Chain A
């Protein structure tokens, strides 16, 4: 059995299964997540427990939102909104990392580049998220719940990453 193609095929199907989601997250949805973060941070754990699934739960309460296809689309839709926030924060994170590099350069310290390390960490995190969510989906074998497990994982990891990086922006000098 050739395994990679079906894995990629499932990922492609799941990534594209925006049942109730628009192609792009609605600005109002992104704004709602922003508001939630503004209210909860710097309490990171609180933000994780309160803000994640805010949009998905509302979406899943809509007609057809409770089907496998609907739930998957709702969670994927919210994950896309978190992704918008992550992309929005990225330039500031890189600017902060470059500032760190400049500070180290001033100290004459021979340390790894913070900017390069940030990029490396993000690439490694992306690779891990992709593989981890396929592993969690595979736990359900060929059952339809694998689609939900994958979308739930994708939403949770994407949102947590966004929240924790946002928290860093708030706490670091």
Chain B
């Protein structure tokens, strides 16, 4: 399975059969958050949370076929995306705090809040377009299209969560 490439998610969902998933389990989201928080500032350990919890998601039988991997990619991806959404308020607080601190000491410099507000949707737009592009690299193979899209989406989302948590933690 190739990893790491993408199309606009909304467009993809129109053409690929994506089963509806329930909202992510809050306990799972909390577990992922705790894993990342405890692992940082070691980025390698934090990235270990991605694979460790993915493996826990799959049953032994599911490890034998693509559909099992796809179920976990979607289920775990949704949980990581929920964690990403939870990161927005503290990220905004961080940016506002940075701006307030800077404003006390200097002339106006670029606003962290403005930059964050621009970066957040820009990243999501890139992720969705990129992952659609990855899916399109498999003409005539709907299962591989789904896999490629799901793997891409999972990889980009998990890495973004960890990068943001590392940023909020601040330089060591």
CA distance in complex: A117, B125 (Å) = 11
Chain A residue numbers with a CB within 8 Å of B125 are 124, 127-128
CA distance in complex: A109, B136 (Å) = 11
Chain A residue numbers with a CB within 8 Å of B132 are 112, 117, 121
Q: List the count of A-B residue pairs having beta carbons below 8 Å apart.
A: 138
Do A168 and B115 have beta carbons less than 8 Å apart? no
Chain B residue numbers with a CB within 8 Å of A34 are none
What is the interface size of chain A, counting residues whose CB is below 8 A from a CB of the partner? 44
A interface secondary structure, majority: helix
CB distance from A160 to the nearest CB of B (A): 11
Query: How many interface residues does chain B have, given as a range?
Result: 35 or more
Do B8 and A135 have beta carbons less than 8 Å apart? no
**A124-B122, A142-B105 known; A112-B15 Cβ under 8 A:** yes
Q: Which 10 A-B residue pairings sit nearest by Cβ, starting from the closest?
A: A142-B106, A138-B112, A141-B102, A131-B119, A131-B118, A121-B129, A135-B115, A124-B126, A128-B122, A7-B110
Query: B-side interface residues toward A, CB under 8 Å?
Result: 2, 4-8, 11-12, 15, 95, 98-99, 101-103, 105-112, 114-116, 118-119, 122-123, 125-126, 129-130, 132-133, 136-137, 139-140, 167, 170
